[in-house]
């Protein structure tokens, strides 16, 4: 494996109250805590690591999480009124350095006229350890999917995102594994090497291969590209 892996979830305009978003975030963090011990302690991001460590997060306390999201509300400079369409945001870090560090950021509850995507992103630990197991990583992706109900989500290496130009890719981006909402993306016939996990009636997780995709391994990249071609969106 090379470099870090990331989880991303994306969805379009969805107006949600601070209470609804807080419930989703608590569900998300509580679910992740069962996937890996490095997902069990969180701090609000600060100007420095020292500052962040003074701001622990009670991730299963709905009132605490609601207050964090309320503090992120955007207001108009002239009147101080809330810009409701910009929703809420959050950023957190697990307090660990180097190989075990994890961060999560999110912009949620947005419904803008310019169509800015709602998104949640996890920067996974550099040393995946148990998360390198395909089932455990798929579990983490499923928790993201069931907590946030994104239109699509993915697990990808940072190198793949950079080398294969994620920003200019059309439609979904395929790397190690991909979640697709069943209501938005019909599932076509996929290459036989793929694994597909159904998530109730909500959607599916497509796993390209058991081991994490290496952006510098041509065989891995060919598999990811074959899945992207089969999806045709």
Residue 168's pLDDT is: 65
* Mean pLDDT, the chain, whole residue set: 95
Burial class from Cβ neighbours inside 10 Å (0-12, 13-18, 19+) for residue 97 reads exposed
CA dihedral 20, 24, 30, 31 (to 10 degrees): 150
Give start and end residues of each alpha helix (H) in the chain.
18-32, 49-52, 62-70, 134-148, 158-163, 218-231
- Contact between 221 and 231 (Cβ < 8 Å): no
pTM: 0.95
Give me the number of domains the chain comprises: 1
The three-state secondary structure class of 128 is: coil
Range of the domain at 86: 5-231
The CA distance from 140 to 142, in Å, is 5
Give the highest mean pLDDT range of 2-6, 111-115, 128-132, 161-165: 128-132
Q: How many Cβ atoms from other residues are within 10 Å of residue 18's Cβ?
A: 19
The CA distance from 184 to 152, in Å, is 9
């Amino acid at each position: 494996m090379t470099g870090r892996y990331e989880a991303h979830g994306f969805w379009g305009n969805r107006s949600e109250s601070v209470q609804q978003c807080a419930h989703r975030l608590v569900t998300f963090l509580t679910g992740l805590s069962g996937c890996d011990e490095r997902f069990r302690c969180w701090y609000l991001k600060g100007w420095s690591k020292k500052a962040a460590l003074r701001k622990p997060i009670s991730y299963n306390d709905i009132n605490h999480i609601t207050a964090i999201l309320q503090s992120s509300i955007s207001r108009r400079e002239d009147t101080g009124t809330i810009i409701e369409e910009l929703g809420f945001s959050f950023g957190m870090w697990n307090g660990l350095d180097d190989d075990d560090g994890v961060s999560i950021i999110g912009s949620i509850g947005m419904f803008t006229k310019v169509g800015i995507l709602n998104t949640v992103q996890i920067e996974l630990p550099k040393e995946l350890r148990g998360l390198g197991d395909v089932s455990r990583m798929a579990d983490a992706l499923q928790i993201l999917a069931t907590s946030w109900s994104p239109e699509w989500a993915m697990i990808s290496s940072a190198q793949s995102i950079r080398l294969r130009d994620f920003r200019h890719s059309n439609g979904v981006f395929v790397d190690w594994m991909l979640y697709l909402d069943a209501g938005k993306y019909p599932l076509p016939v996929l290459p036989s090497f793929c694994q597909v996990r159904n998530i109730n009636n909500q959607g599916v997780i497509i796993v390209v291969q058991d081991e994490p995709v290496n952006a510098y391994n041509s065989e891995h990249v060919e598999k990811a590209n074959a899945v992207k071609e089969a999806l045709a969106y």
